[in-house]
Each structure stands twice: as C-alpha cells, then as structure tokens.
Homo-oligomer: A and B are copies of this chain.
Amino acid sequence: MKIAVDAMGGDYAPEQIVFGSVRAAKEYGCEIVLVGDEGKIMQVLSKVRDWQRLGISVLHASQVIEMGEHPVVSVRKKKDSSVVVATRLVKEGTCDAVLSAGSTGAAVAAAQFILGRIPGADRPTIATPMPTPRGVTLLLDSGANVDSKPKHLVQGAIMGALYAEHVFGIKNPRVGLLNIGEEETKGNEQAQATYPLLKAMKMLNFCGNAEGRDIPKGNFDVVVCDGFVGNVVLKFAEGLAKTLVRLAKEAVKNGGILAKIGAFLLLPALRKLGRTIDVSEYGGAPLLGVRGCCFIAHGSSNAKSIASAIRIAKDYVDSDVLGHIKENLAREEALGAAGELSETEETASEAARA
C-alpha cells in the first residue's frame, strides 16, 4: 500500500502533513510518497528519527496551487504542482491513493482530469463523514458539484452506500434524501424528481427524506444532496462547533474561580465526549466516482487528521470500494439501458398499432 500525499496543501503544511504521514507510516504500515518542495519537506523530516526506515520517500514538485486560485485553470497550468504530481502517481499506478488538504477544487479538478470518471458516475461527489452519537453519517455531495440532476444524486447515493458498507462496515446502510419535510411530495424540483428514482432503486435501502435535524442525530447512514446544500451544511456545522467551544471557554474564563474548578473537574468527561464527536477521527473525505482513490482532508488538518485520513484511504483501497462502485454502476447502467430499450420497443409497437 503506497499513498501519495500532497505535502504542500493545508493551513499547516508542510509540517503537520509530514508529521501526520510519519504517524500513519508507523501506525498503519503504509508507504508514503511526500510530494512537494523537497527542501521544505526535508526540513520537517529531519526532525523525525529514522524516518528513512518508515517507507517514506520524497518527490519534488516545484509548484503549489494556492487556495484562491481557480481550480480548473490552475490544475491545467501548474503541471508541476504538488497536487497534480501526487494525483499523477495514482494514474501511473505508482501509488494506490492520493491525499490532499489543499484547495478542494484543485484536488477535485486534478482527479477528474488525470484519473477520469468511472462509467456511470457523471458527477464525482465528496462524501464527508459527520460524527454523530450513533457513529457516522456520510453527507454527500458536500461540495464537488452544484446544480446536480436527479440522476447524479442517485449515482451519489449508490456510491455513498457502497462506501459506508465497505469502509465503515455499515450493513445495508440507511440512505436518506436531504429535504425540507418527510413527505414524498415535499421539497424543491430536484428533490421531488429524485425521490421516486431513489425509491425505485432496489440495491439501496432508501429510507425516505432526511431533514436537517436528522444529520446530527444520526438517523441515516448516508444523506444525499446537491453539493451546494451539502457544502453550506458542512461549513455551518464547522462554524457552529467552533463558536460554541469559544463561547464555553469564555464562559469559564469570565465565570470566576468556581467555574474554573468546575471546568477542571468536568474535563475528563468532556474529553470523552469530544472523542465521540471528533471530526479528526475521520480526517478525510473520498471523492467518489473517479477512477482511483482520491481523498480530501480539511484545510485545517493537523497531524492526527492526516494520519486518520491515510488510515481511511488504506481501508478504501483494501476493501476495493472502487471495484464495487464500478461493478454496481455498470449494472445500473445496463439496467437503465434495458429500461430505455424496452421503452423504445413500446414506442415502436405503439407506432405499429397506430
């Protein structure tokens, strides 16, 4: 197992990315290729004892795609950027997966251009794991595409369910369609058109509409939506969590000595709670639908998040999620084609009758 890591992407790159990779190499026995500015990477690696024995290598890439750059344009132009070079390692078969905490748009564009799409996956989709008291809920698409058609949401649901099953070990995952009410007739045009398609999909355990509140409660394993809505929800969750933590800290700070003692006594219980809903346990989100394993980590990833993301990428490769997705989408396409064929036949016989 060999993972290509974009060492230059992320708010704390290259340091935390390199340290996270070292941690993953030690703990999960993956080989790692760190891609990026060799000098900067070596500067961090030199702090790690015996890193040479961990199966870590460095591949120089002279360019970096910054957060503000146009994803498609920069991926086309910066052919020696860390994310492009790292993705190419997967295409060439040198690596089994690529991970980047840099610009999501650039990672998605690189994966689409270099790896290409799986037949039947018209729109690759980012499946972000959201921690819940009942485990994890996959929210997809959480930002790869907007203005998706109903069939794209259905393809996403199939891929998300396979990912939930094979990587998170959730048997027969409960799939929900993100909507503004429980009833089949609720929602915008996109949701109303998607519902019957999901309902008709026999390979899915479609459990109906999921409302916003169902996500944090963990009432579904896979929640499918347009990338616009998914991205807003994801960033909202992030902002709310940060704001609440900040307010709680301020409350303790301004609450006097008793509040401080109280917080000290509560700390172990809160730490345990924190572990239950710790986003960094999941670290990365896969881009489902491309011909290769591409993982996207949060921009603010620390070493722990990067190590987690590498572990999950390893599970993804080990359990051959890609193979399962290819097979199931191909079967779906064949069924779809058969459906279209029989429609054509019906039309033909209708024409004959007329």
Contacts and interface: CB of A to CB of B under 8 A. Distances in A.
A234 B236 CA distance: 10
Interface string A12-55: 00000000000000000000000000000000000000000000
A232 B146 contact: no
Interface in A221-259: 225-229, 231-240, 242-244, 246-248, 250-252, 254-256, 258-259
Contact of A262 (B147, B247, B263): B263
A298 to B, nearest CB: 12
A266 interface: yes
Contacts of A267: 262
A267 to B, nearest CB: 8
Q: Please classify the interface of chain A as helix (H, G, I), strand (E, B), loop, or mixed, using the class held by over half of its residues.
A: helix
Given A212-B238, A212-B239, A266-B266, A180 B273 contact: no
Nearest to A238: B213
A254 B266 CA distance: 11
Nearest to A178: B232
Contacts of A273: 247-248, 250-251
- Of A189, A216, A225, A231, the most chain B CB neighbours within 10 A belong to A216
Given A258-B265, A259-B268, A243 B178 contact: no
A240 B265 contact: no
Interface string A176-211: 001010010001110100000000000000000001
A261 interface: yes
A228 B266 contact: no
A262 B267 CA distance: 9
A133 to B, nearest CB: 6
7 contacts: A188-B228, A212-B231, A212-B235, A240-B240, A252-B266, A259-B265, A263-B266
Given A251-B269, A262-B266, 16 more contacts: A133-B243, A147-B189, A211-B239, A212-B234, A212-B237, A214-B239, A215-B239, A217-B242, A229-B229, A236-B237, A247-B277, A248-B270, A251-B273, A252-B269, A256-B269, A259-B266
